[in-house]
Every structure is written in C-alpha cells, then in structure tokens.
Amino acid sequence: MSLPTDPGRGAVREERRRVRGEHLSRVETGDVGLLAPVWVGTWAEALTGDRQVLEAMVAFEAALSRAGVTNGLGSNVARLDADGIDVRALARDAVSPGNPTVPLVAALRGAVPEGEDPSGLHHGATSQDVVDSALMLVSSAVLHEVEGQLAVLAGRLAALARAHRSVLCVARTLTQQAMPTTLGFRVAGWLMGVHDALAVVRACQPLPVSLGGPVGTLAAYGSAGPDVVASVASDLGLAAPVLGWHTRRTPVLGVATALAAVGEACGRICADLLLMSQTEVGEASDGSGGGSSAMAHKANPTRSLLVVSAARQLPGLLATLASSGADASERPAGAWHAEWQPLRTMLRLAGAAAERTADVAGDVTFDVAAMSRNLGLLLAAVGKDQAWAAAQTEHVDVWVERALAHHEEVC
C-alpha cells in the first residue's frame, strides 16, 4: 500500500536542490595545494594538473587521427587542441558517463570547422584508451623529471660520502646507540637507496600507449590494428604494447611501484636527518628551518619532515593501485576508475620528494663536534676509548668505496 504524500514537500526539496546547486556553482573548488605543502609549487604539481591531463587526452586524439590517415583508414582532423575547453565544465559533464572522455570528444567534435570531416576523431578508440594513454603521457613526463632529480641527489650524496668518509659517529639501532660507524658509511647507505630507486624508475619505462577499442581487439582497424597502435605510440613517444591492457594493469602498477621506491629512498634519508637534527642530538641541519606559530625559538627541519610525510602516504596509494589489476572481463568496472586520483597523487608526492630531497642534500650541514660528543656517550657506556672506536670502523671505508664505484656505473 502506498502512503499519501504531501505535494508541498516535493516542491520544498526541489527548491533546496536549486539553492544548493547555485551555492556549489559559486564555491571555489579547485585544489591549489593548501593542505599539500610537500608538492605545492614543485614541477611535479605543474606536470599533473587537470589542464595537463586534458592536453594529454587531446594529444592522444590528435595522434589517433593522424595514425588513421597514415594507415589509410581514416580522415585527419586538421586541428585539435584544448585551449577553448573549460576544464571545470568538462569535469562536471564527466559525472554522468563516469569519465571525461565522453564530454571531451563531444567538445572536440563540436569544434571541428564546418566542411571538415570529423569521422577520424576518436575513430576505433574507447574512453579508457584516451584516459589511460593520457595518464601514461603525464606519468612519463613526471618519471623523466624524477630520474633527473634522483641523479642530482645521487651526485650530491656521493660528494658528501667522499667528504665525510672518515668522520666517526654513532650508529643507532632500535632508537638506541649501538656501535661506532662513519658518517660516510651512513651517507653511502642513502646513496645506495637512491641507486635502487633509479633502477626501478628506469625499468618501468618506456610506458605503453593504450589503444584497444571497445573490447580490446581494435576491431575498427581490422588487421591494420597493430600498425595503428605503433603509429600512435611513436607519435606520442610511448611504447607499442603487444596486446591491449585494459584489464591487465601492469603498466600502472609498474609506475606506482617505481614511485613508492622513490618515496622510500628519499624518506629514509630525511628520516635519518630528522633524528640527527633533534636538539639533543644536534648532528645535522637540513638547511634553513621552518618557523613555528607559537615558539619563535624553533627552526623546524620542515623540508625533511615533508618528504617523510610523502613517504608515509605512498604505500597506501600503491595498495589501492595494486588492487585494480584483479578485475574481470575485457574492461574493468570501478577498478580502473579507482586508479586515477591515487596515481596522480603518487606522481605528485614522489616527484616532490625527489625534488625536495635533492635540495636538502645540497644544503645539509653536519656538526662533527656533536657527533664526537655523542660518540663519547657510547664509549663511556661500554668502557672503551677512541682507539677502540677507530678499530671498529677501520674496514668501513671499503664499503664506502664500493658504493662510490657503483655510483660511477649508475650515474
């Protein structure tokens, strides 16, 4: 039995929706980094904005149109660009279809000059091809910059390891003083972590274009499909996959794994610097410290703590992306959509971590006197002297030399 309804309530609800819609249209909703000081103002932010993703999507459509002509299977759309497209409007129009490709293609078709054949636009592709390829383009740009920043960081760490290879200090395990080591050996450990991250970043490149059409078979191009894929990939500077990867998300997982490795390497360096810069330890400073709103005497190691914050966020985002590969059928439902924001956030966090850690490595200073003082506490605790400490570390330079030799091979 249906219950009687008050027609007045429906009108009230409709009016509330209208007022709410007007309010939302006036609200400034862009994410300009207010709560993300780790990546705001970095090149990683500049390469991953909505406008950059949109431009990458349009670049894919343009490359596809040219590939069709090259392979004698379509008409070329003379000019495709993102200049006249309202990104915010496109985002709002993406809600209904669940992705931004549908409204983008409509906008691009609407901009085709009268008399020009628009049939080559988006021919044979599907929405996922456009978004996946755009994210691969954006990821490639970020990874290129990450690789460069890691190389700079590695060079600075190698110089620090050489300069401080004989400086005695305390090694700590489980937060406690443990045994003597050298500052050069500690920095060499940081250097090897950066080498490891570089290897993972390089291994996942070049990233592949995505072009499979509605169910991955690129049926619109028939037996010429592989040639079209190769043409689009070459045009965009991406790799041509052997087979489409709509549900096989290995490329995205590869990028995410590399970014997590970057965060781990940079986070480890900055975590050590946070401990070494504690007032009671006093062994290091990561450069000009950040101020406090309540305690004017403080100079917080802000850059290091921001990098550590990035390193702590990356593993959780990696887990989200790793879960997207376990999906059924020829096209994923929901799993693919779940990748977009985590991937972009990982690009920003890891990119910023690499940039900021390279800066820190160029500015860091070490207090040798404080290291000697802290080593004295260890010697007193174990009843030993400086000669014992020197004997415990006389072999350490062999390992530093190995790390420096490896650096010459890697960089």
Enumerate the active-site residues: 292, 331
285: helix, strand or coil: strand
Torsion of CA 178, 182, 184, 186, to 10 degrees: 0
Question: How far, in Å, CA of 287 to CA of 364, rounded?
Answer: 5
What is the H or E stretch that residue 232 is in?
A: helix 225-236
Question: How far, in Å, CA of 145 to CA of 148, rounded?
Answer: 5
Q: Kindly write down the DSSP assignment for every residue of 237-278, as one continuous string.
A: T-B--SS--SS--HHHHHHHHHHHHHHHHHHHHHHHHHHHTS
The two structure tokens encoding residue 409:
């091979």
SS3 content of the chain, % helix, strand, coil (to 5): 60, 5, 35
Which DSSP symbol is given to 287?
A: S
Instruction: Give one word for 33, left, alpha or beta, with left for phi > 0 and alpha for psi -120 to 50.
Output: left
E-state strands within 266-359 = 284-285
Question: How far, in Å, CA of 44 to CA of 185, rounded?
Answer: 31
Using the CB atoms, write b or e for 242-279: b if 16+ within 10 Å.
eebbbbebebbbbbbbbbbbbbbbbbbbbbbbbebbee
- The residue written with tokens 């497209």 in the block is 85
Q: Which residues pair with 173 in a beta bridge?
A: 176
Which DSSP symbol is given to 154?
A: H
Question: How far, in Å, CA of 20 to CA of 206, rounded?
Answer: 46
Query: Could you tell me which of 76, 75, 111 has the C-alpha nearest to residue 90?
Result: 111
Residue 300 CB burial class (10 angstroms; 0-12, 13-18, ≥19)? middle
Instruction: Please state whether the peptide bond connecting residue 103 to the residue before it is cis, i.e. omega within 30 degrees of 0.
Output: no
